[in-house]
Amino acid sequence: MDTAVNSPYETRFFSLFNKGGELAFPCDAQGNVNLDGLSNRARNNYFYARALIGREFSAPVVMDRSDHCPVD
């Protein structure tokens, strides 16, 4: 899988407590994130968000970056 940084999609984790405190990562249309393509900091943030789903972050949502709408 080759998910480029300029992918039209992103997987977004919304903060449950901090409005505007979401984390987003480039992904394909199915929400698959290319971990090897992320910087060390972004990869750590991705694992952090995944580990705290339901406690700090919502379940991830695949978004279309061009119109910021969820992908069905």
Domain assignment present for residue 54? The answer is: yes
Nearest in space to 66 (alpha carbons), one of 5, 3, 8, 7: 8
| Residues spanned by the domain of 44 | 9-70
Alpha-carbon gap, residue 25 to 20, rounded angstroms: 15
Percentage of the chain lying above the pLDDT 90 cut: 69
Alpha-carbon gap, residue 33 to 26, rounded angstroms: 6
Using the structure block, give the residue that is written with the tokens 């949502």. Answer: 61
How many separate domains does the chain show?
1
Residue 12 has pLDDT above 50, yes or no: yes
Q: pTM for the complete prediction?
A: 0.83
- What pLDDT does 7 receive? 83
- What pLDDT does 1 receive? 46
Residue 68 has pLDDT above 90, yes or no: no
Residue 45 makes CB contacts below 8 A (sequence gap 6+) with 23, 25
Domain assignment present for residue 25? The answer is: yes
- What pLDDT does 19 receive? 87
Domain assignment present for residue 4? The answer is: no
Domain assignment present for residue 3? The answer is: no
- Amino acid letter, 18: N
